[in-house]
Every structure is written in structure tokens, then in C-alpha cells.
Homo-oligomer: A and B are copies of this chain.
Amino acid sequence: MNLAEFIDARREKHLTELKEFLRIPSVSAKSEHKPDVERAAKWVADNLRAAGFKSAEIIPTAMHPLVYAESLEAPGKPTILFYGHYDVQPAEPLDLWTSPAFEPEARNGNLYGRGTADDKGQVHIHLKALQALHESNGKFGINIKVLIEGEEEVGSVSLWDFVQKNKEKLKADALVVSDTSMLGKGVPSITYGLRGLNYYQIELTGPERDLHSGVYGGAVPNPLTVLAELFAKLHDNNFHITVPGFYEKVAKLSKAERKALNALPWNKKAFQTAVGAPGYCGEKGFSIVEQLWTRPTLELNGIWGGYIGEGAKTVIPSKAYAKFSTRLVPNQDPRKIAVQVEKHIRKLLPKTVKCKFEVLSTGKPWAAPFQAPIFKKAQTALEKGFGKKAVFIREGGSIPFVTQMYDTFKVPCVLIGFGLPDENAHAPDEHIYLENYFSGIKAIAHFYADLAIL
């Protein structure tokens, strides 16, 4: 019996076990679920031992425990650090779930339940792949470190603290993460690029106090209008961002990469159906895929000021606020961009308002050298698991952990996602396509097995 057959023979067993994992409501954001979070950590540790790890630690933290296991019995073979998380998003609003969030149910080829896609289902794929390898060979064949956290949905503070204090312990030749999505159904995908994220907030103050718009209107600065005028100036008619120097360091895509990205089976119609806008717009000179994955953006995320209740209030407010963010691409430097953005905004603003400018966070973009051997091995393993050619994709979002790990260890990060873009990761009726779950176990088992072949 080969590895794939070995795994296929255990489909029911795997599914039953995953459902057990999913039934634990390990909602990290809610203090009433603290016992559940701890139960989930114990479940993961137990499962790691069942998978063939001699021991698995539950590491207490200031908030939720980390689970860590390692097997370093393959001298001369690569060492892989696998990262995942066992905590989940809150399930609310509960009444929008077709079946209860923590009572997993298979329907229409999907498994529904909180954590199916994000990230318990994907963690379980790795646990079962490792177990299959160990059971069929008596060993993993590579050196493997597994780090599963319980705070991913609430900011990963304890994780990051642990990583900083255990750099030697966590050292590896590559980081493997399964917490992303495939390009689409039947398209196994490796994500090799993420955008960075700077998040800003500004507060504009015009008059010292709210004023009556009748008594004062016409002769005083209105900070709401100034805010509108400011943000109208941050893009030109081609949707280019007007901040001087903003694009200066942007890495130009090679012709080959650009061609490859545009040749992907990316479905524009499905994208537009998902968005449902009356029309579309984006930076001139780039395809939508390029706009989403390879071009930086500046987006307003929230604006407020003045009277926002029901009916009418004739006020000229003292203050106007905006939250906005820049998505960054290689090789933009987040700190430098933050300085450029602030400088440009201060230059654009009239002297009639004061401006408080805050950078709430900065985050680097990331792109992996996907021509490196480990990426080719991942691609081959995915083809073995899915029977379909795997593609290299980028994502428009940001995963701070990946860029931080890359900065810390300077090793390749291989992002192999088994979710699908429409699986409601943070919404009601979260699900995972079961064939992706089953094929994922086979693919990951092949991946780890192939890494043993130098």
C-alpha cells in the first residue's frame, strides 16, 4: 500500500477526528471560552503524540497556551517548522448558521463549522499527514518542529514573545504554513507573496468647538470638507497614489512572472460577482490580478465627524477623522512610506486646520523566491495529492507572522493553503471543501516525504 492509499483508507477516521477537534469552541477572543481554548491545546498535544511525536509541550503564556512538539531524529535531513493555530473566530451571529457552528456537519461535499477552514481543518491536514508518514515508515524522515498557537485571531502577542525568546529552538530550514486559500476549486496553490500593511489615523481640528452651521457657516473652515479635499488629492485620475516617492522602490515584476500571474485560471466574473459593485476601477496599466497582488494601494477604511445620528443637526464640527491604510509590495519600506505619507498629507492640508497624524501599525511586504527547490517540491507534492498542477499565487492581504518569521530566520516560508476564497473564514457557515481536506493530507504527506529525499 503506497502513502496515498494508506491515507485514503483512513478518510472516515480522519473526518471523525477532525469533527472532535472542531467541537471544542476555542474562541480566543472571549474569556468565557478560556477552558475551551485550554482543552483545544490539550487536544492538539495529544494528537501530536498520537501522530508519532515522543512528547508535546503545552506552553503557558500570558494569555492562551502554545503547543510545541519536535522530532529531530533525521540527521543530515532538512528541518521544517510547521506553524498553525487552534483558536477560532467568534461564531456570532449564531442565527445565520445553517447548522450550529460547533456541531460540524457535512453537506454538499463540504464540512461546515467554525474552524473548518481557519485553521483547525488545515492544521489537522498536517497532523494526519505526519501521522501517516510515521505509521507507514516508523519515522518522519525529516526533522520537524510543530508550533500551534491559540491567539492568532487576537493578535499573536504570546506567540511573538515566545519566538523572540526561542530563536535557537525554532531554527529551521523552512517555515511551512497552511492558513491561506487556493486560487479556486481544483487549483492547488502555493502563495509566495503578501502585501505589507501600514495603518494610519488622522484627526483634523478646525474650529475649537462645534459651531452652528447657520451662525458660522461661510466664514470658518469645516474640517469635514478639508478631509474630503485631502483624500481627493491622494489619487490621480489613473488611480495612482500621489504621495511623492511612494512607488520609487516598488519591485518591477519580471516579464515571466507577470505573464505567469496573468495566465492563472483566475476568474474575473466570479470576482465581480463576489464584490457586486456597480462598476470597477483600479490603477491604470495593470490587470486586476496585478492590482490586487502586486501593486500598492492607499485605502480609506473609515471616516467620521459631525452629526451622524438620525435626522438633521446643523453643525460645523470641530473635528474630522479618518482611518486609512497603505498596502505595500516588495521592496517598499513601511517606515519610509509612513514618513512620506505624513509629509505629503501635511503639505496638502491648508493652514485652517490642525492635524494629528498617527501610524497605528507598520508591516512589511513579503515575496518568496518561488524558484527555490522547496517550492518545486511543494508544487510536485500538491500535484500528487490533488492530481492537478499546482500554481504559484500571491495574495493582496498581509500575514504579519510570515513576514516577521522571515525577518527573524531568513528562511523560505512556504504557504500552502487548502481553503477556498468563498469559505466564509470569519463569517457564519464557515466550511472546507472535503476533497481539499482529504487531498491536502495526501499532498502534505508527499511534501514531507519528498523533503527527506535530498
Contact = CB atoms under 8 A, between A and B. Distances in A.
A210 to B, nearest CB: 10
Interface string A312-334: 11111100110101010000000
Chain A interface residue count: which class? 35 or more
B208 A277 contact: yes
Q: Which 4 A-B pairs have the closest CB atoms?
A: A208-B276, A214-B397, A232-B232, A302-B306
A232 B235 contact: no
A308 interface: yes
A308 B299 contact: no
Interface stretch (A79-87, A95-103, A216-224, A410-418): A216-224
22 contacts: A197-B214, A205-B278, A213-B301, A214-B327, A215-B421, A216-B275, A217-B327, A227-B303, A232-B232, A232-B233, A277-B353, A278-B352, A280-B352, A299-B316, A301-B306, A301-B313, A303-B305, A303-B320, A304-B305, A307-B323, A311-B360, A312-B323
A239 to B, nearest CB: 8
A283 interface: yes
Interface in A342-387: 350-354, 360-361
A316 to B, nearest CB: 6
Given A216-B396, A220-B280, A197 B314 contact: yes
A344 B415 CA distance: 49
Contact of A396 (B215, B291, B313): B215
Given A199-B314, A323-B312, A303 B306 contact: yes
Interface of A: 195, 197, 199, 205-209, 211-222, 224-225, 227-233, 235, 271, 275-283, 288, 291-292, 295, 297, 299-308, 311-317, 320-321, 323, 325, 327, 350-354, 360-361, 395-398, 421
B301 A218 contact: no
A209 B300 CA distance: 16
B312 A307 contact: no
Contacts of A218: 282-283, 291-292, 295, 297, 327, 396
Given A212-B397, A321-B308, A217 B297 contact: yes
A354 B276 CA distance: 11
A217 B299 contact: yes
A361 B313 CA distance: 11
Given A227-B303, A312-B199, A221 B277 contact: yes
A314 B292 contact: no
Contact of A307 (B302, B354, B361): B302
Given A225-B235, A398-B214, A312 B360 contact: yes
